[in-house]
Every structure is written in structure tokens, then in C-alpha cells.
Amino acid sequence: MSDTGNNAVVWKTPQWQSLPALPGAQLRLALDVLDRPADLLAQLQREIPWEQHRLRLFGREIPAPRLSCWVGDAEAVYTYSRVRFEPRPWSPLLSALRCGIAEMAGADFNSVLCNLYRNGNDAMGWHSDDEAELGPRPVIASLSLGAPRRFRLRHKRDADARLEIELPSGSLLLMGGDTQRHYRHDLPRALRVQLPRLNLTFRQIHASA
């Protein structure tokens, strides 16, 4: 089988793209950071214990339009949408990814939120990753595999400050500085997309007081 079958992730030298400047955001995008992204997608799709999380919206519980799994060090407990998530342990492959991405991002990560968008009907709504346990200026590293999808950012108050980019398979997006404080982001539905996309957002959770 492939290299990734032995958990050997083969990295390429990241070629950072120039993105239009967004006031108050700190973004970096590299399009092609590893070898054989399709093999990696297949292995992660198989090995991650996918769950259907439920979201609380306007007092109702609805199934999230995607599959998810929270993976991390034992202390990296995460609460969102008022649900507490105990992390699943790192697999050798996710550990290898964490290592390489930490090096490219110049930051440490003790957890990763894995999302599987089964097709273009799956999506993620507008939000900021601004939970208290992420700290005030989190670095979030987002690795995309599979079907290319549109990713949008928009400023919370300035309607002109917005950006839309495509995240292709094997791309790495870094969001740092005050990006989460000033911006929301989403991954809209894309009804023509039939193929799955898998996204890993690496994060550093600080133990809550």
C-alpha cells in the first residue's frame, strides 16, 4: 500500500501563497504541503472513529451536517455548543501530522478537531473559534484533504472586510493573531460536490481554571 499505511507522512516544502490583506487578520495558506493526499484521506476516513455530534441552536438540538471527532492529549477537554468533549487518543498517523504541522506553523498543538464533509450537502456555519480555552490569540492550523471547497471569512463589524478562498486537497491554512476575535468563517454547502472532504483543525487547548 501507500506510505501513509506505515504512518510515514512525506512533507513538501510549503510554498506560502500571497493572500489579499484583511485588516486585523493573520492568514497564511500553502497549497500543497504533503505527498499523496488521496492516500492520507482514505486512511483517515477509515481509522478515525467518526461521530455525529449534535448542535444546540435556538433551544433545539439538531444533528451537525458533517461527522466529527475530537482527538487530543488527555487534558485537552473542549466545550462547544455547550457540549463537553473528552478527547480521543492520538493515532500514530494523527501524531505524525501534528508534528509536521506544528513545525510549519511554529506553534504547539495538543488537540485536533476532525471533520468529515461526506459530500457538498455537509457544511459548517458561520462561527469564530474563540472559546475561552483556546486563549485570546489562538493559532489554528487547518489541513484539508479531498474535494476542494470554498472557505469564507468575514469581519464581525466591517462588511467590506471579507475573503473567499478555495481549500484544495493537501492545503494548509493558518489562522493566527486576532483573526478569531475580529472574523467569523464558514464552509458553505456546495450542492454539486459529490466527493468527501476531510478537514483537521489543530488547536492548543489551555486547561480551564
| Residues near Fe ion (CB under 5 A) | 129
What is the pattern of x (binds ligand AKG, CB under 6 A) and - over residues 89-118? ------------------------x-x---
* Amino acid letter, 186: D
Between residue 156 and residue 185, which ones bind ligand AKG under the rule CB under 6 A? 167, 185
Residue 203 has phi, psi (to 5 degrees) of: -140, 160
76 DSSP assignment: -
Shortest Å, Cβ 32 to Fe ion: 22
Q: How many CA atoms lie within 13 A of 199 on its CB side?
A: 27
Residues 117 to 156: which contact ligand AKG by CB under 6 A?
A: 124, 129, 142, 151
Residue 113 interaction partner, one of ligand AKG, Fe ion, none, beta carbon < 5-8 Å per kind:
ligand AKG
Across 26-52, b (16+ Cβ under 10 Å) vs e yields: ebbbbbebbbebebbbbbbbeebebee
Minimum distance of Fe ion from residue 154's CB (angstroms): 13
Beta bridge partners of 153: 163, 185
Q: What residues make contact with ligand AKG under the rule CB under 6 A?
A: 113, 115, 124, 129, 142, 151, 167, 185, 187, 199, 201
